[in-house]
Each structure stands twice: as structure tokens, then as C-alpha cells.
Amino acid sequence: MHKLLTTAAVTALCLSAPMESAADEIDVTIVAGHPPIFIWVKNLTETFIPTVDAELAKTGNHSIDWNEAYGGALAKVGGESDAVGTGLAEIAYNPTLFNPSLYPMQNIAYVAPFNSKNPRLTTEIVERLQDQIPAMKAAWEEQNQVYLGGGFAIDSYQIFTTFPISTLADLEGRKICAPGPAVNWVKGTGAVPVSSSLTEYYNSIQTGVCDGAINFATAAAPGGLAEVAPNMTIVDFGAPYAAALSANLDWYEGLPEEVQAALHAGAAAYSDAVFADQDALINAAYEKIRADGGTVSELSAEERAAWVNALPNVPKEWAAEQDAKGLPGSEVLAGFMQALRDAGQEPPRDWDRE
């Protein structure tokens, strides 16, 4: 059974704690701050939930009554982790990029830009590091959560602006919206970074808060970003690991093993579906951007190199800051960069070796 929650419905839901009924039907609220227009939310409904239900139906011992709280109904973008950790919801699409202080090491691909254009590769690297480095898994437990899987990286970030960009000098004095740690991608370029998120980009540009935004095609297209920022410049900042599915740890530990296994199976199917949609939508996204009045150009190799070299070595600074906190920042940075090299990538800067 499924219920898609509106904001009005949430108050009533929160008055009673989710619990397992006598018929062994488990009440589960799943939360995402973004609306279902985006593939990572759409696939909660279309892939994760049906897969979990199908796994449980194999024995019929358990079932789930789902409450789907999306688009700010229960938590704003970035608030999902708190909602699940405190028990307002049982499961979350958890965009770790918006909580760099809570999940610093999961954000390594945002910390070290110009990495890889391959979302699957970035995801494989980050999840491998998470398996190898205990402190990365501990980050979830510290937020009273368990990592279910379902991690994914998004397609490579580009820049959308109200003005054309052909040289780095064109950014001078321009205000550029960027998500989470990506504000560092314009440091040293002359641009002014403005912390924001993709649900705010359109209005921020339309009202003059920003002159452009760092975004990726499969999100920019459905959001109609080219209507207000018609100049898309391909820079290829990289395809960073951005989110995963997590569950309230206390709740999860009280579940039967069969239900736990079903949640992990659903998360694995969800990740595959997000990547499949990403592949299918990327070309259509570019077409939609052009249909909305946008133009697509590519920054020259020389100007891209100038951009890369203009940046301060924020990754190395970040690693030192994490080390000082007792976290393995240098280990994570070195592991990430070496994994890129081992996969045949050629990072334009060796952030870990400078």
C-alpha cells in the first residue's frame, strides 16, 4: 500500500510513531526533499518500493505500508538526514552533498573536482573506499543511520549562465550559485560563489541573486533552467557521488533479517535504475535545454586548464582539516585520486600530491 504525503498530511503522521501491526504490516515513511520530477525521487516510487515489496512477497511473512513524503512534505533538501536520524521517517533519499559536515568523506568527489565524467566509476570508487575505511561507515552511525545502498553519482556538472563564457575572464565579478562543496569550484576564478541548491536556481537567477549556476544536464532540463540561464558551457567538473539511501539505525536493528535484506535489495535496484534513467535522459536533456532557448558550447581545453590551475588546492586543505579532527582525510583523498588513476583517468591536477 502506498500513500504520497502532502505537507498537510505530515502533521497527523508525526503524532504517532511508526510501528509494526499485529498483522505484521510495517509502517514506513520514506522522505526526500526534492520533488518526484527528478529521477532519484521518481525511482523511489517506481523502483525501490516495488522491489522491496516483491522481495517480501516471496514469503508473505511481512509487508510494508508506505508513506511517501517528497518535495518538502516532511523535510527540505538537506534535511532528510535529520528527519531519519531523529525518527520522523524510517528511510531517506539522503543527499550527502548538502551535509558536508555530517558526511565529509562521502563528499570527496565534490571536494576534488575535475575528476571523472563517469558516474558509475565515481560511485564504485566512493563505495569501495567506504568499505575499506571504517570512519566512512561510522559517519552514518553517528547520525543514527544505517547505509542501505542505492548510492549514485550524477552526470557531469556544467555551468549555466545569463552571459556567454569563452574565457575565464568572463566570470569576473559574476555571482554563481553552486550546491554544497561545489562553491569551491569557482574560487580563484574571479566569480563570487553563492551557496544554493537546484530547487532554488531558477528563481535565484530570475531575480538576480545569481548570474548563473553550476548544474548537471539531467536536472537542469526538467527544471527549465535554460529559460533563465540560456548559456550552457561544458566544463566537465566531474560526476560526483551525491546521495544514497539510509534508514534509521534503531528502527532498522529491530527489523526481521528478511525485511533488512529486502531493503538492501531495493536499494541496489534503485541505484541501477537511476543510472539507467541517467543514460537514457542525457541526450534528451540537451535537446530540452536547446528547446528552452539554450545554447550549448564547450570551454576550450586551454581555458579549462586555466580554470583548473586557478583554483586553490582546496582538496589538500580539506584533507588537512579532516586529519586535524581525527578523520582520515588524507587517506580518503589519496585513495580517491589513486583509484581514478588506476581506472585510466587522467586528473588535470594531482590534488593529493601537490
Helix boundaries (H) for 44-118: 49-57, 80-85, 108-111
Q: Among candidates 54, 56, 88, which has minimal Cα distance to 73? A: 88
Domains and CATH numbers, the chain: 2-153+241-282 (3.40.190.170), 157-239+283-314 (3.40.190.170)
Closest CA to 224 of 166, 163, 159, 291: 291
DSSP string computed for 182-233 = GGGGGTTTT-EEEEE-HHHHHHHHHTTS-SEEEEEHHHHTTTTGGGT--EEE
| pLDDT confidence bin for 4, thresholds 50/70/90 | low
CA-closest candidate to residue 278, choices 42, 114, 91, 80:
42
pLDDT, one tens digit per residue, over 258-300 is: 999 999 999 999 999 999 999 999 989 999 999 999 999 999 9
Tell me whether strands 157-161 and 63-70 are parallel, antiparallel or unpaired. unpaired
DSSP string, 229-279: --EEEE------EEEEEEEEHHHHHTS-HHHHHHHHHHHHHHHHHHHHHHH
Split at pLDDT 50, 70, 90, the class of 164 is very high
Distance CA 137, CA 15 (A): 31
CB burial class (10 A; 0-12, 13-18, 19+) of residue 33?
Answer: buried
**Residue 28 CA to chain centroid, in angstroms?**
22
Whether the Cβ atoms of residue 121 and residue 343 lie closer than 8 Å to each other: yes
Q: What is the mean pLDDT of the chain?
A: 93
Q: Which amino acid is at 160?
A: F
pLDDT of residue 5: 55
Least confident of 16-25, 27-36, 188-197, 225-234: 16-25
Distances (CA, A) of 79 to 192, 206, 250, 292, 317: 26, 25, 19, 31, 27
pLDDT of residue 2: 62
Average pLDDT of the segment spanning 224-243: 97
Q: Rounded to two decimals, what is the model's pTM?
A: 0.87
